[in-house]
A and B are shown apart, each in its own frame.
Chain A
Amino acid sequence: DAGVIQSPRHEVTEMGQEVTLRCKPISGHNSLFWYRQTMMRGLELLIYFNNNVPIDDSGMPEDRFSAKMPNASFSTLKIQPSEPRDSAVYFCASSSLLAGADTQYFGPGTRLTVL
């Protein structure tokens, strides 16, 4: 079975540019999570969706960050404009409480470098 798919795996961009990260959750999962991992701050939850609806975006750092989930099989995290302090590994995860499983399955991550 395909796991959570993220693209791109690596992204290098210059300050001020727009960055879009993509995620395809596991088929049938109805919850999707975006995390950011840095050495300084560890793993932080940015936002999560349930049935394509944003439930909690309290972790989104500021207005430069936005996330969408237009359908059950696709989500994007956009940073505009990007800044060097946004450099991190961004993970997407999905889960399905309805299936009786509260385990989150993580994608391989996108390593973002903002110069």
Chain B
Amino acid sequence: GNSVTQMEGPVTLSEEAFLTINCTYTATGYPSLFWYVQYPGEGLQLLLKATKADDKGSNKGFEATYRKETTSFHLEKGSVQVSDSAVYFCALRGTQGGSEKLVFGKGTKLTVNP
């Protein structure tokens, strides 16, 4: 079945540091890939997505590139801010049977210190 594996947290960085959160997936065909972010006390929000190989999703300074050859969708940001402190979830939506189900990774908690 489809699955997502993302790096274990927590991750603690200083402001303006470079961020990478690794995400790899297992799926048949060409799934759509997503990064969601959850701020404290809130629901998940879509951060960015990519729907085909080599697509790059970007938003709020975050980027991720859909790499079919390595089945990866790593999240990066060049300079993090304290306000980026949150839990980040990698997710995929498969292409079989028209399913709308999202499969989520376990989440990576990011703390950015001033």
Cβ 8 A contact of A43, one of B34, B51, B89 = B89
Asked whether any CB of chain A lies closer than 8 Å to the CB of B82, the reply is no
Interface 1/0s, chain B 84-114, versus A by CB < 8 A? Answer: 0000010001000011111011110000000
* Complex alpha-carbon distance, A29 and B101, angstroms: 15
* Complex alpha-carbon distance, A59 and B106, angstroms: 16
B106 cross-chain contacts in A, Cβ below 8 A? 42-43
Interface 9-mer from A13-21, A62-70, A73-81, A102-110: A102-110
* Complex alpha-carbon distance, A55 and B101, angstroms: 10
Contact indicator A45/B101 (Cβ below 8 Å): yes
Q: Can you name the residue of chain B whose Cβ is closest to the Cβ of A41? A: B106
Asked whether any CB of chain B lies closer than 8 Å to the CB of A112, the reply is no
- Closest Cβ–Cβ distance, residue B65 to chain A (whole Å): 19
Asked whether any CB of chain A lies closer than 8 Å to the CB of B29, the reply is no
Q: Can you name the residue of chain B whose Cβ is closest to the Cβ of A3? A: B43
Contact indicator B102/A31 (Cβ below 8 Å): no
Cβ 8 A contact of B101, one of A42, A56, A105, A107 = A56
A4 cross-chain contacts in B, Cβ below 8 A? 43
Interface 1/0s, chain B 29-69, versus A by CB < 8 A? Answer: 00010100000011111100101000000000000000000
Contact indicator B107/A104 (Cβ below 8 Å): no
Contact indicator B43/A109 (Cβ below 8 Å): yes
Contact indicator A104/B102 (Cβ below 8 Å): yes
Cβ 8 A contact of B44, one of A95, A102, A106 = A106
Interface 1/0s, chain A 44-70, versus B by CB < 8 A? Answer: 010010100001100000000000000
**A contact residues vs B (CB 8 Å cutoff):** 4, 31, 33, 42-43, 45, 48, 50, 55-56, 91, 93, 95, 97, 102-109
